[in-house]
């Protein structure tokens, strides 16, 4: 299949404007997916940046425009903690968004990140994804939308520089150990899944991200995990605020 990846970079004036643009983008992707195929499958990003976007999505006007009854929610990654732990990405999404909107609980698929056997929990999540997407072994799920952030070291989801998981070409979900992370045990969707998505949107805010944004979007972008996200047949959008975009080359005036 010829790659028909399209990449757009949108620079928003502020973190608030970024959050607003992100919420509007989720609504647009959801409505398009439901119109085209009857449901919307999304993998949520963790960390702190998406909080404001999720809060806006949970409130008017965006919440009322979302097809919640047709929405299926997954997680791009999570930390190896219970769902009520302060470091849990599930907890963050639940308190900012999922507890406030009428998405059916049976359509929210949490990684069982507290499991004693991380490999089994990763395999279980992959089976859950396969069941919901109705795919067979060797096929990858095509999410309508994957939301991602990027760390200052270039990691995205829980795909960290130097991790063996960067080389995963078959499994959809990996249990990874990140020695330098606050919670070393992590779970992540892998590149085969991220790069099979119909649409991937990065949400990046703050001056501390400017260097890694320049690296990920530059000619050596694939040297960092975030720059390795290149949907084979999908739309890639980087939503940046001005601070995060500060080191990007200025586009030649049209």
Binding site for ligand 6PG (CB under 6 A): 45-49, 76-77, 89, 149-151, 155-158
CB of 89 to ligand 6PG, least distance (A): 5
CB of 156 to ligand 6PG, least distance (A): 5
CB of 101 to ligand 6PG, least distance (A): 21
Q: Tell me the two tokens of residue 206.
A: 């703050």
> Closest CB to ligand 6PG among 89 and 96?
89
Please give the C-alpha separations between residue 192 and each of 67, 152, 212, 248, in angstroms, as whole numbers.
Answer: 27, 23, 22, 28
Closest listed residue to residue 15, CA positions, set 222, 209, 230: 209
d(CA 90, CA 84): 8
> Closest CB to ligand 6PG among 126 and 204?
204
CB of 147 to ligand 6PG, least distance (A): 9
> Closest CB to ligand 6PG among 70 and 238?
238
CB of 85 to ligand 6PG, least distance (A): 12
In our burial notation (b when 16+ CB lie closer than 10 A, e otherwise), range 31-60 reads eebbeeeebbbbbbbbbebbebbbbbbbee
Please give the C-alpha separations between residue 37 and each of 30, 34, 104, 231, in angstroms, as whole numbers.
Answer: 10, 5, 18, 20
Q: Are 104 and 69 in contact (CB under 8 A)?
A: yes
CB of 254 to ligand 6PG, least distance (A): 32
Closest listed residue to residue 209, CA positions, set 189, 238, 180, 181: 238
Q: Are 18 and 205 in contact (CB under 8 A)?
A: yes
> Closest CB to ligand 6PG among 158 and 190?
158
d(CA 152, CA 52): 19
> Closest CB to ligand 6PG among 182 and 251?
182
Query: How do beta strands 40-44 and 71-75 pair?
Result: parallel
Q: Measured at CB, which residue is nearest to ligand 6PG?
A: 149
> Closest CB to ligand 6PG among 17 and 135?
17
> Closest CB to ligand 6PG among 29 and 146?
146
CB of 69 to ligand 6PG, least distance (A): 27
């Amino acid at each position: 299949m010829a790659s028909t990846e399209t990449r757009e970079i949108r620079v928003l004036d502020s973190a608030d404007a970024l959050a607003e643009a992100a919420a509007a983008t989720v609504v647009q992707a959801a409505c398009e997916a439901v119109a085209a195929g009857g449901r919307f499958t999304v993998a949520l990003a963790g960390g702190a940046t998406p909080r404001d976007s999720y809060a806006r999505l949970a409130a008017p006007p965006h919440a009322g425009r979302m097809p919640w009854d047709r929405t299926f929610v997954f997680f791009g990654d999570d930390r190896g903690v219970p769902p009520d732990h302060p470091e849990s990405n599930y907890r963050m999404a639940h308190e900012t968004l999922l507890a406030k909107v009428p998405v059916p609980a049976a359509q929210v698929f949490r990684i069982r990140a507290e499991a004693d056997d991380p490999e089994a929990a990763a395999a279980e999540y992959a089976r859950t994804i396969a069941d919901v997407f109705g795919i067979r072994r060797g096929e990858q799920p095509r999410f309508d939308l994957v939301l991602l952030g990027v760390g200052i070291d270039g990691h995205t989801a829980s795909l960290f520089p130097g991790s063996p998981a960067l080389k995963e070409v078959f499994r959809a979900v990996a249990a990874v150990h990140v020695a330098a992370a606050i919670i070393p045990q992590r779970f992540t969707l892998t590149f085969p899944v991220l790069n099979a998505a119909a649409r991937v949107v990065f949400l990046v805010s703050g001056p501390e991200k400017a260097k890694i944004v320049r690296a990920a979007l530059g000619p050596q972008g694939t040297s960092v995990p975030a720059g390795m996200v290149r949907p084979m047949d999908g739309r890639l959008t980087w939503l940046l605020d001005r601070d995060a975009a500060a080191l990007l080359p200025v586009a030649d005036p049209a």
